[in-house]
Amino acid sequence: MNGAARRIWGLVYRHVCMYRRSWPRLAEIAYWPTLELLIWGFTANFFSRDLHGNSPILAGTALIAGVLLWEIVLRAQIGVTLSFMEEIWSRNLGHLFVSPLRPAEMVLGLLAVSVIRTCIGLLPATIIAFLLYHYDLFAPGPVMVLFFLNLLVMGWWVALGIVSLLFRYGAGAEALAWTIAFGITPVACVFYPLASLPDWLQPVAQALPAAHIFEGLRALLLRGQTDWSQLATAAWLNAAWMLAGIAVFGMEFRRARIRGALISIGE
């Protein structure tokens, strides 16, 4: 190996070493193409075979609504996890955790930041949707607030799960912050109905609030009906997942204090 090749290999080797020690980074390489294929494959199926008499125009409207509303989950989740990771990156967690700030207060602070970030993040997209596509997100009326709240809470419990993983695996798991919520997208039934999924995958989707929220949204946009049962199911599921998220967060925080992970989380 000549000098140049050796130097190039040195750089490649640096990345090989990193990937072989970090399964989240390795998994991420194949993750996105697979995910894109699943989402757009199911969406294409819906539009080509399963419109069930719905007008393609209305289905298109539901698609835009789905894109906008799914962003609430993504922005809410990223709002929490990114704010937490900012503390890791700035090596500030040590100061925070030796202050009188309780873990519950820290979580509430992160949730508040996520609400602000979600509002700021979605405002331009909502205006653009109105100006370019004549789609008014608020046209269905006050009931939309219930959809927003359900999606916000879903983003929060996903985020609590990710922060728990950061406690457990440290900053090496930060790729999860960008991938997990997107990974749920195929089973969230954002762009297509539950029926478009294979039978074996439908129970997984039904266990998530998102599938019920978007089924309810499509009922509202395509048929003008407010499906209260779907909204109620989503709310119950959100409550259950949120409780689970809080329990996992509490457990991982305690474990991190035992293992000394709060001191070394940025490493």
The residues binding another protein (CB under 8 A) are: 86-87, 90-92, 94-102, 254, 257-260, 262-263
| Residue 31 exposed, middle or buried by CB count within 10 Å (0-12, 13-18, 19+) | middle
Nearer to another protein, 14 or 102 (CB): 102
Q: Are 212 and 234 in contact (CB under 8 A)?
A: yes
Burial of 239-249, coded b for 16+ CB within 10 Å and e otherwise, reads eebbeebbebb
Distance CA 236, CA 23 (A): 34
DSSP state of 172: G
Task: Please report, for residues 61, 89, 191, 244, the alpha-carbon distance to residue 38 in angstroms, rounded to integers and kept in the order given.
Answer: 21, 33, 12, 27
Nearer to another protein, 31 or 97 (CB): 97
Nearer to another protein, 86 or 136 (CB): 86
CB of 93 to another protein, least distance (A): 8
Nearer to another protein, 52 or 91 (CB): 91
Distance CA 13, CA 179 (A): 25
CB of 170 to another protein, least distance (A): 15
Nearer to another protein, 80 or 106 (CB): 106
Q: Helix or strand or coil: residue 105?
A: helix
Q: Are 213 and 234 in contact (CB under 8 A)?
A: yes
CB of 6 to another protein, least distance (A): 35
CB of 84 to another protein, least distance (A): 13
DSSP state of 137: T
Nearer to another protein, 117 or 257 (CB): 257
CB of 166 to another protein, least distance (A): 16
CB of 263 to another protein, least distance (A): 6
